[in-house]
């Protein structure tokens, strides 16, 4: 199996900061710590209302992220301009409603193919690797290749939701989608509701997995075990 990288999403650190105002906890400090503790990258998902990560955070983080910087979000004009300014190593396009609480579906890569082609070309011209959120549906994976994206990110909520009841059934569509994506020449990321309990089984059963992005669960688990320990635990399970 290939080595799967761990990107730590620090949105929840920003949520804590914004709940009290000021700059404590400091997202820059925690991004530095996550890298020191062994994270392979830092992920942020700025939203238009800046209710957690702010656009200025993205600019400041670019100065200190020395691993891989991944900015994800809905490609509205403001977001596109930010990504082209900051130039992260990777941009992940997510079909969010601007004010929904969290991501809840992948792209319809057939319906939005021309829009995605146009947006992705802008990022590729700037030398930024692109990834798009996709549900584990073969038609969506097949159509993703025609958008020009470098990678897909498999949206894993359904896996996490059904893992306890029947892990083999929960993972089967993700395995099929990953194999198909690899055959088409796409890189494969994954994220949403992955945690210390379900990540190892996912890694063992989904081949060609380049990267996972984990935020909410990792930060909550860090409240119990400490961030340094939790990052080490994830890295062990991703071997």
Name the packing angle between helices 216-225 and 227-237 (round to 10°). Answer: 120
Q: What confidence tier does 96 reach under pLDDT thresholds 50, 70, 90?
A: confident
Q: Residue 150 pLDDT more than 90?
A: yes
Considering Cα of 90, then 194, then 168, then 143, what sign does the dihedral take?
Answer: negative
Q: Residue 98 pLDDT more than 80?
A: no
Rounded Cα distance, 57 and 14, in Å: 9
Q: In this structure, what are the phi and psi dihedrals at residue 213, rounded to the nearest 5 degrees?
A: -115, 120
Q: Residue 171 pLDDT more than 80?
A: yes
At residue 228, the pLDDT reads 98
In 3D space, the residue among 134, 160, 156 whose CA is nearest the CA of residue 145 turns out to be: 134
At residue 208, the pLDDT reads 97
Q: Residue 67 pLDDT more than 60?
A: yes
Q: In this structure, what are the phi and psi dihedrals at residue 211, rounded to the nearest 5 degrees?
A: -160, 145
- Stronger pLDDT, 49 or 230, i.e. the higher one: 230
Q: In this structure, what are the phi and psi dihedrals at residue 228, rounded to the nearest 5 degrees?
A: -60, -45
Q: Residue 197 pLDDT more than 60?
A: yes
Q: Residue 121 pLDDT more than 60?
A: yes
Q: What confidence tier does 99 reach under pLDDT thresholds 50, 70, 90?
A: low
CB 143 within 8 A of CB 105: no
CB 45 within 8 A of CB 90: no
Q: Would you list the DSSP string of 11-24?
A: HHHHHHHHHHSTT-
CATH of the domain at 144: 3.20.20.70
Rounded Cα distance, 11 and 176, in Å: 30
Q: What confidence tier does 215 reach under pLDDT thresholds 50, 70, 90?
A: very high
Q: What pTM value is reported for the model?
A: 0.94
Q: What confidence tier does 177 reach under pLDDT thresholds 50, 70, 90?
A: very high
Give mean pLDDT, residues 41-63: 96
Q: What confidence tier does 106 reach under pLDDT thresholds 50, 70, 90?
A: confident
At residue 101, the pLDDT reads 52
Domain carrying residue 59: 5-237
Q: Is 221 exposed, middle or buried (0-12, 13-18, 19+ CB in 10 A)?
A: buried
Q: Residue 220 pLDDT more than 90?
A: yes
Q: Residue 136 pLDDT more than 60?
A: yes
Size of the chain in residues = 239
Coil, strand or helix: which one is 67?
coil
What is the bridge-based pairing of β-strands 5-9 and 69-73? Answer: unpaired
Q: Residue 148 pLDDT more than 70?
A: yes
Q: Residue 104 pLDDT more than 90?
A: no
- Catalytic center residues: 45, 72, 192
Query: Structural domain tally of the chain?
Result: 1
């Amino acid at each position: 199996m290939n080595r799967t990288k761990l990107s730590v999403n620090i949105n929840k650190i920003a949520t804590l900061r914004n709940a009290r105002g000021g700059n404590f906890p400091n997202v820059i400090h925690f991004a530095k710590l996550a890298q020191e503790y062994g994270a392979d990258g830092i992920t942020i998902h700025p939203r238009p209302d800046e209710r957690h990560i702010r656009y200025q955070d993205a600019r400041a983080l670019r100065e200190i992220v020395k691993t891989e910087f991944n900015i994800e979000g809905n490609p509205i004009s403001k977001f596109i301009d930010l990504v082209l300014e900051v130039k992260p190593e990777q941009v992940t396009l997510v079909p969010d409603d601007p004010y929904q609480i969290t991501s809840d579906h992948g792209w319809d890569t057939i319906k939005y193919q021309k829009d995605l082609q146009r947006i992705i070309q802008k990022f590729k011209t700037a030398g930024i690797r692109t990834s798009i959120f996709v549900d584990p549906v073969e038609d969506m994976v097949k159509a993703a290749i025609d958008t020009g994206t470098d990678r897909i990110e498999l949206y894993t909520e359904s896996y996490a939701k059904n893992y306890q009841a029947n892990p083999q059934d929960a993972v089967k569509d993700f395995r099929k989608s990953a194999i198909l994506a690899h055959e088409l020449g796409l890189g494969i990321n994954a994220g949403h509701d992955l945690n210390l309990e379900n990540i190892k089984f996912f890694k063992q059963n989904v081949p060609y997995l380049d990267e996972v992005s984990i935020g909410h669960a990792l930060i909550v688990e860090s409240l119990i075990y400490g961030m340094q320990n939790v990052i080490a635990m994830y890295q062990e399970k991703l071997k």
